[in-house]
Amino acid sequence: MLELNYIRENTAEAAARLSIKNVDADGILKQILEIDVRRREAQKELDDNLAESNALARQIGDLFKSGKAAEASDLKARTATLKVLAKELQEKFDGLLQEQNNLLVQLPNVPHPSVPRGKSAEDNEIVHREGEIPALYEGAIPHWDLASKYDIIDFELGNKVTGAGFPFYKGQGARLQRALINFFLDNAIEAGYYEIQPPLVVNEASGYGTGQLPDKDGQMYFCDLDKLYLIPTAEVPVTNIYRDVILKGSDFPVKNVAYSNCFRREAGSYGKDVRGLNRLHQFDKVEIVQIQHPEKSYETLEEMRSYVTGLLRKLELPFRILKLCGGDMSFTSSLTYDFEVYSAAQQRWLEVSSVSNFESFQANRMKLRFKDENGKTRLCHTLNGSALALPRIVAALLENNQSPEGIRIPSALAKYTGYDTIR
């Protein structure tokens, strides 16, 4: 959630930066500021009411001590009137606060000044590309056919037991999943991240805290009886560990890593571009989360970008990094780098990671703060990234490394799988 002080002091700038996300915010910003004036007026009335009530209470006490009970009783009548008025003022203030908050949660985060303008993925800026596109042998096939050929992933069985987008991993396919998870976790721990195993369901406050709610309500699986949401990413429970927490400056950086199942409804996802592992409703992902001092968050973003780059190099996958344009960014992000690997049999790029800086947007929702060197309480900055999401990594590994003799496993991963070829 955008900070109210930022909107008050930089209204034109906020509108201009939100326009990069193709959001016309002039009207809603005006409403927020109009309500803010009325809310502050109501706050002043409440403060004045309290001050008068406290003054009267002291006078009444003095009068009773002086034996002037009749005069004290006259003043008590005034305090009774003030109590009724205070209740009315509090209700007015609370209503304005809720009305203002309902508008604030509709506004996405403002993008960083470096974010390019654009409306869709076609307008993203390629900032790095690395690795050779493999030349496959004649007769090479996409990963969904490889999965069937080697009996390592069963999409039809998943459809039977649950539905489309919930595959079964079998034999060497199951071991490949487990190997990738351990590979990603071990690399993160070596890089200084602290491992967390989080719950797979969260409450509404947690979904609100990281910005999935109310923006992505329809994309999350909801357990109605318990009012809990299945997580779309480990970012949600891990970041919410620090909801309503005040850190010390010496705590930075906070670095956590978590493996989890992830659940996304992805309503309306059909066609060849989402076939096989390209888009699932349940998938595995290792997530890195950092909480950082505001002055160091963009330096940290580049460090996280470099870290994910290192993972893809170890997996020997051709990849590229894109800086997302305003129209392709998430609701909560200020700046996002997407990582895509090349899927040789499909002859297309597949997104495998997003690394983002949210600045104070999530922290403001969660009341995640720290004490600076002057003792002032300030909002932290939050960042996260996929390191990595498994399905499309698996798709690219299978497709790019296939041969008539089997599917080669990269050497960095082979010590985790226990085999170097899928046969």
Residue 127 marked in a binding site: no
Residue 233 marked in a binding site: yes
Contacts of residue 188, defined as CB under 8 A and 6 or more positions apart, other chains included, come to 195, 257, 286, 288, 387
SS3 of 15, please? helix
Residue 238 marked in a binding site: no
Compute the half-sphere exposure of residue 415: CA atoms within 13 Å on the CB side of its CA. Answer: 6
Contacts of residue 377, defined as CB under 8 A and 6 or more positions apart, other chains included, come to 246, 369, 370, 371
DSSP state of 242: G
Residue 287 marked in a binding site: yes
What's the token pair of residue 27?
């009207």
Nearest to 397 by CA among 154, 190, 172, 155: 172
For the CA atoms of the chain, what is the radius of gyration?
A: 27
The backbone torsions φ and ψ at residue 295, rounded to the nearest 5 degrees and listed phi first, read -75, -10
Residue 384 marked in a binding site: yes
Query: How would you class 251 by CB atoms within 10 Å of its CB: exposed for 0-12, middle for 13-18, buried for 19 or more?
Result: middle
Residue 264 marked in a binding site: yes
Residue 351 marked in a binding site: yes
Q: In 131-270, at which residue ranges do the beta strands (DSSP E only) sit? A: 153-154, 168-169, 194-196, 201-202, 222-223, 228-230, 246-248, 254-263
Compute the half-sphere exposure of residue 409: CA atoms within 13 Å on the CB side of its CA. Answer: 21
Q: Are 355 and 301 within 8 A, CB to CB? A: yes
Q: Are 384 and 299 within 8 A, CB to CB? A: no
Q: Are 120 and 327 within 8 A, CB to CB? A: yes
Residue 190 marked in a binding site: no
Based on DSSP, count helices (H) and strands (E) in the chain, helices before strands. 13, 19
**Binding-site annotation, residues for ATP:** 264-266, 351-354
Binding site, annotated residues for L-serine: 233, 264, 287, 384
Binding residues: 233, 264-266, 287, 351-354, 384
